[in-house]
Amino acid sequence: MKPEPAAAPEPPPASPAVAAEIFGDRLPVAVRYAELLADSGVVRGLIGPRETPRLWDRHILNCAVLTELLESSATVTDVGSGAGLPGLVVAIRRPDLEVTLVEPLLRRVTWLTEVIEELELPNVTVARGRAEELWDKLPPSDVVTSRAVSALDNLAKWSVPLLRPGGVWLPMKGASVGEEIEQSMTVLRAVGVDRIDVVECGVGLLAEPTTVARLQVGTPRRVRGRSGAKSKAKAQRARGKARP
């Protein structure tokens, strides 16, 4: 008995009217990106099929408004780019930016490379590897971004060393970012963060503006090792084994 063929991916919803306001003459490129996300992006496991109906509101527009914080002709490194969120969207919206997508998984790197070629984006490159493996391989950036990658203290250790002195780190973290910042202050100071504020992008455009932490870095410093729940759990297990 032959297995039933997999269901075809659902097409993405039509771009909302606000997308034209945000992307301007770049809207056709953004629409094609949404089509690729909903098709090969789902088939190859870069985005879940349940995300297709909300590609624009939850993902594309949510990332596009990050460009409000980016100066003209800046260099941007996107850590853990995955399906290109936010880095690829930022590059589509702002062709004046030079964007590097950092992604360790080969299947994602392959997909991103294919999409860049399809969309004809000369301002985007892909670097395969973990952020900490690329500290000495990539030129320092004006801005480093990330979205839904890891806890803030881990991200700080991986991301800040990719910045030039005086650069800006813009992790997209959502409404809980204030609490994460408070819990991560020791690490943030250690890596060189000297000014922090939390901003909302897309106010007046999006029903739910995008919350972004804006962290100014003086002199980036490297701090090795992981933080967060996994490290704490590992330490607790180690203490348990040490008990008589």
Give binding residues for S-adenosyl-L-methionine as ranges. Answer: 80, 85, 131-132, 147
- DSSP-derived secondary structure for 113-171: HHHHHHHT-TTEEEEES-GGGSTTTSPPEEEEEEESSS-HHHHHHHHGGGEEEEEEEEE
- How far is Cα 53 from Cα 142, in angstroms, rounded to an integer? 34
> Which residues participate in the annotated binding site?
80, 85, 131-132, 147
Q: For the chain, what is the largest distance between any 2 Cα atoms, rounded to a whole number of angstroms? A: 69
Count how many Cα atoms sit within 13 Å of the Cα of residue 24 in the half-sphere of its side chain: 5
Q: What angle do CA 35, 82, 33 make, to 5 degrees?
A: 20
